[in-house]
């Protein structure tokens, strides 16, 4: 059986975390440009990563087979 390929876009955006219960971590949006108009509190909160919602987990895991 040949190996499955990981989607390049997904491997750049998501990271698997945890052992048995696999969580998928992502970074927040709206952090790339036009940062001067955003407040310091907002920019600080956008730095933190978050976990994807349970409803999306199955579809993301298909993109990241390994």
| 13-44 pLDDT, tens digit each | 999 998 888 899 999 999 999 999 999 999 99
Inside any domain, residue 21 = yes
Give the DSSP H/E element, type plus range, for residue 14. Answer: strand 14-17
Three-state SS at 55? helix
**Whole-angstrom distance, CA of residue 18 vs CA of residue 14:** 13
pTM for the whole thing? Answer: 0.77
CA atoms within a 13 Å half-sphere pointing along the CA-CB vector of 23: 9
Of all helices (H) and strands (E), which one includes residue 60? helix 54-63
> Is residue 1 a part of any domain in this protein?
no
The domain that holds 26 is classified in CATH as 4.10.410.60
pLDDT of 58 reads: 92
How many domains does the chain fold into?
Answer: 1
Give residues with Cβ within 8 angstroms of 10, minimum separation 6: 60, 63, 64
């Amino acid at each position: 059986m040949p190996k499955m390929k990981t989607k390049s876009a997904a491997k750049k955006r998501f990271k698997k975390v945890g052992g048995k219960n696999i969580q998928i971590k992502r970074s927040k949006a709206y952090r790339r440009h036009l940062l001067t108009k955003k407040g310091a509190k907002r920019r600080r909160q956008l730095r933190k990563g978050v976990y994807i919602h349970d409803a999306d987990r199955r579809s993301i895991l298909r993109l990241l087979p390994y």
